[in-house]
Amino acid sequence: MIQSPNGVVIPRTVTLQLDQGGFVLESGKTLPEVTVRYEMYGEINQAGDNVILLLHAFSGDAHAAGLHHDADRYPGWWDDMIGSGNAFDTDRFCVICSNVLGGCQGTTGPGSTNPQTGQPWGMTFPVITIGDMVDVQYRLLRQIGVNTLYAVAGGSMGGMQALEWAVRFPDMVQRAVVLASTARLNAQGIAFNAVGRNAIVSDPAWNGGNYYDGPHPTRGLAIARMVGHITYLSSESMRLKFGRRLQNADGAKLDLEDQFAVESYLEYQGEKFVDRFDANSYIYLTKAMDYFDLASSWGGLDAAMARTRSRFLVLSYTSDWLFPTDQSKEVVYALARAGKDVSFNEVVSPYGHDSFLLEATLQRELIRAFLSGGTV
Residues carrying an active site annotation: 156, 320, 353
Sign of CA dihedral 168, 170, 174, 177: positive
Q: Is 218 helix (H, G, I), strand (E, B) or coil?
A: helix
Beta-bridge partners for 82: 88
Q: How far, in whole angstroms, is CA 365 from its chain's centroid?
A: 22
Sheet with 12-15: list strands edge to edge: 12-15, 35-41, 94-98, 51-55, 151-155, 175-179, 311-317, 342-347
Consecutive H or E run containing 152: strand 151-155
Tell me the C-alpha distance between 350 and 240, whole Å.
Answer: 9
Tell me the C-alpha distance between 80 and 91, whole Å.
Answer: 15
CA distances from 297 to 26, 69, 131 (A): 11, 42, 10
Let me know: does 76 contact 66? Beta carbons within 8 Å.
yes
